[in-house]
Amino acid sequence: MHCYFIISNATINHYLLPNNIFIYISSPEGKIVAMSISEKLGDKKPIFKDRNVLLSAHDPVSLENVVHRDEQIDCYQNHLKYALEGFVPDNLFIYGKSGTGKTMLTRLVLEDLLIVAKDLKVNIAVININCENDFTENAVWQSVNDKMPIPEHHTRRKIGNSCPKHTTYFQDLLNMYDGILIIVFDEIDKAVSSFSSVDFINKIVRMKSATSGFSPCVICITNDLQFASNLKPHVKSVLLQSEMVIPPYNASQLQDILRIRAAAAFAPNALNEVVIPLCAAIGAQESGDARRTIGLLRIAGDQANNRDIDRVVTEDDVRNARTIQEKDCFFEGVRTLPLQSKLVLLAAIFVSKMDGKETTTKEVYATYCTLCKHIGMDILTYRRVADLLSELDMLRILSSHVVSRGQHGRYKVINIPRITALLELRIYDDPRLFSISELKVRRLRKYI
Ligand SMILES: Nc1ncnc2c1ncn2[C@@H]1O[C@H](COP(=O)(O)OP(=O)(O)O)[C@@H](O)[C@H]1O
Ligand SMILES: [Mg+2]
């Protein structure tokens, strides 16, 4: 079968399409030029053997393939082995910067635990919740209840948007389960917009199954090293029974991780020998983040793959890849800001859009309060918002300078980068803020 695309005056992106796909480009004179992608690929020397191995969703298949995490795996397994002996492990809090392997280790260690538990005929169930997807209390309850083990004869009930009803239903399901239940809340900081909302975890860890007498074991994972210090003491005492900190990788560890990935991802002799040490050195210098470093290698590979000649990944490809990654990094930095900082940034953008208005902290604060009310968020103090504006300045997301008004004192003027449209789009990637995207500046004007 042949597949045809008609594209007018278009640039073609390099998608990997199956064979027998023809692209018909109509030139400005209306002439049709046919080009087969398989022809375009020609018999160029391949760069990639399996590019998917370099995508962030790809993890090692088992714990044996994980390098430089023996100590952490050991610690994790020692912690969880109690479950195999019929005891509920302590709740565990895992911290570490992004890309240090927290999600991967948790998944692989728990998969391993379930295999051994099956052999030993010990009843253990694991529920994984990614709070980046399920960030409201109701969504978390919904997901937990959807994933709870249920007896064969039981039909899972549908609960609407009622947290108290979800809580009661969870207790019912827990009462029917006679094993050890482990619930993982990955990226827990994303589910907690105000710190009172960790109450759902507090409730979960304090419940007991009427059948087994066990409470669930909760594993919380976060990149936010400050997260626990903001928890209320009674929540802290139950959630932080045990803690594990996962350190960033150094250059030599990143090299080993990259070599394993590269062997599976690249065709033989596709990489110049400096490429892996250079990627690892850059990765270690920046953050020790394996995800970002693997990404750097992938972008460098793409650079070479887009060339018709000299099809080997070189030092220059890595340097170009770094520039590309840095550009993305600005927006990535915005995407991963905490919710309150995103609201402050949005408020500053809204104020800057009002013609003839200088953006001052006072005006940003007024707009910020309106946005918070719009999405039902707790409102921070003026002082805290001013601090968040300074943090955004330090991150170079916006800039500010102090202006003197003579005897009327001094005030701060905030400058927003010109790429506000792109910036806003990135902020609205956060589904919690989506409803703000429909708010018109006009409607906000009356509050200021
Ligand atoms: N020690 C390691 N060996 C192999 N791959 C690793 C290792 N550590 C991290 N990775 C890879 O790096 C990426 C990020 O890991 P992840 O567990 O998602 O990080 P985190 O959850 O800490 O942000 C994943 O693709 C993961 O497979
Ligand atoms: Mg993770």
User: Last residue of some domain: 306, 334, 362?
Assistant: 334
Q: Are residues 98 and 234 in the same domain?
A: yes
Give the CATH number, domain containing residue 220. Answer: 3.40.50.300
Give the Å distance between the CA of 222 and the centre of ligand 2.
8
Which ligand is located closest to the Cα atom of residue 104?
Answer: 1
Q: Which atom of ligand 1 is nearest to the CA of 106?
A: 17
Q: What is the pLDDT of residues 185-194, one digit of tens each?
A: 999 887 765 4
For residue 208, tell me if it sits in a domain: yes
Q: Are residues 348 and 319 in the same domain?
A: no
Which pLDDT belongs to residue 225?
76
Q: Are residues 284 and 156 in the same domain?
A: no
Q: Whose CA is nearest to atom 15 of ligand 1?
A: 101
d(CA 271, CA 280): 14
d(CA 177, CA 171): 10
d(CA 349, CA 345): 6
Which ligand is located closest to the Cα atom of residue 187?
Answer: 2
3-state secondary structure of 123: coil
Q: Whose CA is nearest to atom 16 of ligand 1?
A: 101
Give the Å distance between the CA of 73 and the centre of ligand 2.
16
Q: Are residues 293 and 379 in the same domain?
A: no
Q: How many residues does the chain have?
A: 448
Question: Which tokens sit at 153?
Answer: 């004869």
Q: Are residues 160 and 194 in the same domain?
A: yes
Question: Which tokens sit at 146?
Answer: 């959807």
Burial of 114 from C-beta contacts in 10 A (0-12 / 13-18 / 19+): middle
For residue 61, tell me if it sits in a domain: no
For residue 93, tell me if it sits in a domain: yes
Instruction: Output the ligand 1 site: residues, CB below 6 A.
Output: 56, 58-60, 66-69, 96, 98-104, 257, 290-291, 294
Q: Which atom of ligand 1 is nearest to the CA of 59?
A: 27
For residue 106, tell me if it sits in a domain: yes
Q: Are residues 375 and 406 in the same domain?
A: yes
Q: What range defines the domain where residue 371 resides?
A: 337-445
Q: Are residues 294 and 342 in the same domain?
A: no
Contact indicator for 120, 144 with CB cutoff of 8 Å: no
Which pLDDT belongs to residue 17?
36
Sheet with strand 242-246: strands edge to edge: 124-130, 180-186, 217-222, 92-96, 242-246
Contacts (Cβ under 8 Å, ≥6 apart) of 356: none
Q: Are residues 226 and 300 in the same domain?
A: no
d(CA 321, CA 295): 9
Give the CATH number, domain containing residue 292. Answer: 1.10.8.60
Pocket test for ligand 1, best of 51, 59, 74 (most atoms within 8 A of CB): 59
Q: Are residues 328 and 341 in the same domain?
A: no
Distances in Å between the alpha carbon of 440 and those of 159, 316, 351, 435, 444?
35, 45, 12, 11, 7
For residue 62, tell me if it sits in a domain: no
Residue 438 falls in which region: left (phi positive, over 0), alpha (psi -120 to 50) or beta: alpha
Give the CATH number, domain containing residue 433. Answer: 1.10.10.10
Q: What is the pLDDT of residues 323-337, one digit of tens each?
A: 888 877 777 778 888
For residue 64, tell me if it sits in a domain: no
Ranges in the chain, pLDDT < 50: 1-33, 194-195, 447-448
Give the Å distance between the CA of 292 and the centre of ligand 1.
10
Cα 327 to chain center, whole Å?
18
Q: Are residues 225 and 326 in the same domain?
A: no
Which pLDDT belongs to residue 40?
56
User: Last residue of some domain: 307, 334, 361?
Assistant: 334
Give the Å distance between the CA of 367 and the centre of ligand 2.
33
Q: Are residues 402 and 312 in the same domain?
A: no
Which pLDDT belongs to residue 117?
97
Q: Which atom of ligand 1 is nearest to the CA of 100?
A: 22
User: Last residue of some domain: 246, 271, 288?
Assistant: 246
Q: Which atom of ligand 1 is nearest to the CA of 186?
A: 21
Give the Å distance between the CA of 385 and the centre of ligand 1.
34
For residue 233, tell me if it sits in a domain: yes
Looking at the structure of the chain, the number of domains it has is: 4
This prediction's pTM: 0.73
Question: Which tokens sit at 99?
Answer: 């890309």
For residue 63, tell me if it sits in a domain: no
Question: Which tokens sit at 48?
Answer: 């990639």
Q: Are residues 115 and 241 in the same domain?
A: yes
